[in-house]
Amino acid sequence: GPRRAPDRDTVRFSYKWAVTPEKQRVLTVRAFGAELMKIGSGGSLEISSGGFRTWRTFQALNMVLAPVGLELEADPEGRGAGYRGGKWSLTSKNGWTLPFEDDMKLSAFPTRDWKRILPQLESLPEDVEFVVAKD
C-alpha cells in the first residue's frame, strides 16, 4: 500500500451517545483503548489521559476539549515520564486554571451553552493525524 509519512500518527476516536434517567445527553469519547472524556448536556465534564500522559494524548484531549472552550497546557519545565513530565493543567477562556488529574470531574459550562457546544461535538472527527512531537 501507500507509504505513510513517518512523522504522522493516525488516531481513531469513538463517540458514544447516551441519555441518563434525568434526560441528560452524555457523550463518551474513547481513543487509545481508554475513555478520554465524558461530557453531559447539563455541563458535567470528566476527563482522563487513560494513564497515558503522552504527546498524542495531550493533543487528543485538546481536540475534544476545544468545543467546551477548555485547553490543556503543559508545564514547560516539566521533566520525567510522559509529555513534559505529565505536568499538565486545564485552563479556561474564563481565566481559571486547575492542575490536570486523571478522572477529574468538573462543572464545565452552563446548561444554556449546550446548544452552542453540541454541533461542535457532533462534528469531531473519527480519524485524526497528529504530527509527532519533535522534542
% of residues, the chain, pLDDT over 70: 92
Residue type, 47: I
CA distance 94 to 13: 28
> What's the grid cell of residue 17?
451517545
Instruction: Give the pLDDT score at 94.
Output: 84
C-alpha of 86 from chain center: 15
Strand 97-99 relative to strand 34-40, pairing: unpaired
Instruction: Give the pLDDT score at 132.
Output: 73
Instruction: Give the pLDDT score at 110.
Output: 94
Instruction: Give the pLDDT score at 27.
Output: 98
Q: Nearest to residue 48, comparing CAs of 102, 105, 91?
A: 102
Q: What is the pTM of this model?
A: 0.88
pLDDT confidence tier of residue 16, bands split at 50, 70 and 90:
very high
pLDDT, tens digit, 9 for 90 and up, residues 66-119: 999 999 999 999 998 899 999 999 999 889 999 999 999 999 999 999 999 999
The answer on pLDDT for 125 being more than 80 is: yes
The secondary structure element, H or E, covering residue 89 is strand 88-92
Contacts 24+ apart (CB under 8 A), 97-104: 97/73, 100/47, 100/49, 100/72, 102/48, 102/49, 102/50, 102/51, 103/46, 103/47, 103/48, 104/46, 104/47, 104/48
Q: Name 116's Cβ contacts closer than 8 Å, sequence gap at least 6.
A: none
